[in-house]
Amino acid sequence: MIEELASIDKVIGVKQSRKVLRDGRARKVYLACDADPAITQPIVEACQAQEVAVDMDYSLSQLGLACGITVGAAVVAVLR
């Protein structure tokens, strides 16, 4: 499943993900299991409010690698 992040429309990062959630453009959100809960908890709550699926099975480095970036990614939102 995480392989889909290499080829689909997505945004990476907390601020951009928060924006697409607010705009109703997110289909699914990946949250790093080892990210700071202070960062991820507001995103979880926004996903629940928007009824967006959340996947927390991957680490910061796994999400970053899947997105093709050289640093870890705490939040990745897949666009509709």
pLDDT of residue 4: 79
Measure the CA–CA gap between 13 and 18, rounded to whole angstroms: 8
Q: Give percent of the chain with pLDDT exceeding 90.
A: 91
The runs of H, that is alpha helices, within the chain are: 14-22, 37-50, 60-67
Q: How confident is the model at residue 49 (pLDDT cuts 50, 70, 90)?
A: very high
pLDDT tens digits along 3-28: 878 889 999 999 999 999 999 999 99
Residue 43: CATH number of its domain: 3.30.1330.30
Contact partners, residue 30, CB within 8 Å, separation at least 6: 2, 5, 54, 55, 56, 58, 63, 73, 75, 76, 77, 78
Structural domain harbouring 17 = 2-79
- Asked whether residue 33 carries a pLDDT value surpassing 90, the answer given is yes
Task: Give the total number of structural domains in the chain.
Answer: 1
- Asked whether residue 76 carries a pLDDT value surpassing 70, the answer given is yes
pLDDT of residue 29: 97
